[in-house]
Amino acid sequence: MAKNKFNKNWLHDHINDPYVKMAQKEGYRARAAYKLKEIDESEKLIRPGQIIVDLGCAPGSWSQYVRNKLAGQEGGRINGTIIGLDMLPMDPIADVHFIQGDFREQDVLEKLESVVGGRKVDLVLSDMAPNLSGVAVTDAARVEHIIDLAIEFAQAHMKPSGALLVKCFNGTGYTQLVEKFRQEFKTVVSKKPKASRDKSSEVFLLGKVLKNPS
């Protein structure tokens, strides 16, 4: 009974969510686009000519937002390169190079390299989150593992002056994640965009300029 009530409450909140309505109106695949939009507008992350990688990109709303930003105008050609990586399939997005597979695997990295052609990435985005169990210590370890992967990817593929934006959760293990970012980046800021639901512990960590580029 409680589960049915929860599902009904979630559905009611979802249907009446202004960001869900806005996403439907503006053609975004998920309300998550507005989280990136708010962070981008405050931090000036996305600029013409950049190479941007979207880790765990499906269903694609972050890649859609990046594409719209780099296009400058509706229907215009983009000034930059967007690469989306995910183990899940994703419906195509104009001007986005989508590579399906695990970005730790050699064949996926070779496909990535064929797109970037030896150039380094300006911005790495990660809206990835693990399946959460509800057990705080277990979930903290899973979140940390995914963020470690994003940091390792950035160290291997990003310009020293680049930026990494990841999703994490303000709870068990969060302080350690912030400290980990401070060890790797010269500037670290935490962002809680308005589009993140009030009940959610979701926050985004942004690291700028690698301290120890590879």
Res. 104: pLDDT tops 80: yes
Q: Does 25 reside within a domain?
A: no
Instruction: Look at residue 125 and tell me if it is in a domain.
Output: yes
pLDDT by residue (tens digit) across 159-200?
999 999 999 999 889 999 999 999 999 999 999 999 888 788
Residue 54 among known ligand-binding residues? no
Residues 6+ apart with CB under 8 A from 113: none
Percent of the chain with pLDDT over 90: 77
Q: Please tell me the distance from the alpha carbon of residue 21 to that of residue 74, in angstroms, as a whole number.
A: 20
In a domain, 104, yes or no: yes
Q: What is the side-by-side strand order in the sheet with 158-169? A: 96-100, 81-86, 51-55, 121-126, 158-169, 202-210, 185-191
Residues assigned a catalytic role: 167
**Residue 162 annotated as lining a ligand binding site:** no
pTM more than 0.85: yes
Rounded to the nearest 5°, which phi and psi values hold at 195? -70, -15
Q: Which range of residues forms the domain containing residue 159?
A: 32-210
152 domain residue, yes or no: yes
Neighbouring C-beta atoms of residue 208, cutoff 10 Å = 17
pLDDT over 80 (residue 75): no
Q: Structurally, how many domains does the chain consist of?
A: 1
> What's the mean pLDDT in 24-47?
95
* Residue 11 pLDDT level (bands cut at 50, 70, 90): low
The pLDDT of residue 185? 98
Q: Read off the CATH number of the domain in which 138 is found.
A: 3.40.50.150
Q: Give CA–CA dist 11/23, Å, rounded.
A: 16
60 is in an annotated binding site: yes
> Is 41 part of any domain?
yes
What is the per-residue pLDDT for 3? 54
10 has binding-site annotation: no
Question: C-alpha distances in angstroms, 27 versus 33, 50, 60, 154?
Answer: 10, 24, 11, 30
**86 annotated as ligand-binding:** yes
Residue 20 within any structural domain of the chain: no
Cβ atoms of 102 and 87 within 8 Å: the answer is yes
pLDDT at residue 116 tops 80 = yes
pLDDT higher than threshold 90 for residue 111: yes
